[in-house]
Amino acid sequence: MSLKSVPASFWRGGTSNALVFRAEDLPGSRADWEPILLAAMGSPDPNGRQLDGMGGGISSLSKVCVLAPPSREDADVDFTFGQVPVGPGPVDYGGNCGNMISAVGPAAIDLGYVAFPPDGTARVRIHNTNTGKIIVSHFPVRDGAAEAEGALAIDGVAGTAAPIRLEFLAPGGAKTGRLLPTGSPSDALETPDGTVRASLVDAANPCVFVTASDLGKTGAEAPEALAKDAAFMRRMEDIRRAGSVRMGLAASLEAAGRIPSIPKVAIVGAPVDATSLSGAMIAAEEVSLMVRMLSMEQPHRAVPITGSICLALAARVPGTVVAEVCSTASGPLTFSHPSGTILVDAEAAERGGQWEAISGSVYRTARKLFSGAVFYRG
């Protein structure tokens, strides 16, 4: 069987990597994208490494982005995110990826969807088709292209680069239509191992938050340690599925199991001293709270950007388990995650007896790694 190819570029966005495609270079039907995207990323791989493709064997390195002309007047480019499973299963278009959004603005200029701006600061309005939300990307440009060099360092990425500010506008209700899908800041979820109190929050991506201490954790654990705790991993998936059903994302626990990308599930805790994956010490007094998030049934080595936006908004709603452990009463929040810390700002307000998400913003970096064509077994 001969190899086939399709034009593509490969980008780092925040702490993720992804193949980036133009919609015009793919088949007209999304169903026909499936074999191309899976093969290009090297999935499914029973060895879990994706060595026959561009994937990296973990969820943060097994992603695709498809850009297209804008379908809304208030956007400059459409962005569809696909989470590619390492093992068996279809490409999941259920949620958004905040890390890869940081690459979408520069990629939109690079691929010709947005006119070359003059030197200064570009402002690209991104319509995420997965959630129907608008994210505004602000980044420096020079000589008609996104500036690569800069002084911003983000934990989990070596070196520094130009800052990219992502502004999530009205991010609440990304999948359910409400910031608090059940109307309550906390709910009791029934699982095979008993009842657990959780906060179900939908902003940028829907998430289920539980207190780390309720599961015998502190929120400072390394991803590898969590992955080896089979009982913990099983219970977190049970909690995620129960939350999915309660939020109305799935009709049954079995159906929730077939949508692994959403909701995300995380443990949160009050600040404690921690050691990052690089060996750096993170002092409790320097952070607002601890978070350990799971993605695609794997402990995440950082905290997804959409997850951090959702977490920040949850911290601003009284009565959530997040607000109860957060040590920062107002202003920007600093979250301690396995790779270090992340600074996030968010604003929520109560209107008519319901909490609404006004905005959330975060700083990331991005860089194009290559462009050309990706070859795959057709």
pLDDT digits (tens, 9 = 90+) for 324-369: 999 999 889 999 999 999 999 999 999 988 999 999 999 999 999 9
Q: Are 32 and 71 in contact, with CB atoms under 8 Å apart?
A: no
State how far the alpha carbon of 161 is from the alpha carbons of 103, 125, 148, 260, in Å.
Answer: 12, 21, 6, 32
pLDDT digits (tens, 9 = 90+) for 227-274: 999 999 999 999 999 999 999 999 999 999 999 989 999 999 999 999
| pLDDT in the model for residue 77 | 98
* Residue 117 clears pLDDT 80, i.e. is over it: no
* Residue 115 clears pLDDT 90, i.e. is over it: no
pLDDT digits (tens, 9 = 90+) for 202-219: 999 999 999 999 999 999
Q: How far apart are CA 213 and CA 190, in angstroms?
A: 17
For residue 245, the surrounding DSSP H or E stretch is helix 230-247
| pLDDT in the model for residue 272 | 98
* Residue 318 clears pLDDT 90, i.e. is over it: yes
| pLDDT in the model for residue 144 | 79
The backbone torsions φ and ψ at residue 308, rounded to the nearest 5 degrees and listed phi first, read: -70, -35
What tokens appear for 344 in the block? 């996030």
CA 46 vs. chain centroid, Å, equals 25
Whole-number CA gyration radius for the chain: 20
pLDDT digits (tens, 9 = 90+) for 137-190: 999 999 878 898 999 999 889 999 999 999 999 999 999 999 999 999 999 999
For residue 346, what are the contacts with CB-CB under 8 A and spacing of at least 6? 309, 312, 313, 315, 316, 333, 357, 358, 359, 360, 361
| pLDDT in the model for residue 296 | 85
What tokens appear for 38 in the block? 């899976």
| pLDDT in the model for residue 143 | 85
The domains of the chain, with CATH numbers, are: 3-174+365-377 (3.10.310.10), 187-343 (3.10.310.10)
* Residue 116 clears pLDDT 80, i.e. is over it: no
| pLDDT in the model for residue 1 | 62
Q: How far apart are CA 45 and CA 48, in angstroms?
A: 5
What tokens appear for 115 in the block? 């006119």
Q: Is 143 exposed, middle or buried (0-12, 13-18, 19+ CB in 10 A)?
A: exposed
* For range 50-65, the mean pLDDT: 95
What tokens appear for 201 in the block? 């929050």
**Model pTM score:** 0.81
* Residue 79 clears pLDDT 70, i.e. is over it: yes
* Residue 282 clears pLDDT 90, i.e. is over it: yes
* For range 88-102, the mean pLDDT: 92
> Percent of the chain beyond pLDDT 70?
100
Helix (H, G, I), strand (E, B) or coil at 26: coil
pLDDT digits (tens, 9 = 90+) for 193-203: 999 999 999 99
| pLDDT in the model for residue 94 | 87
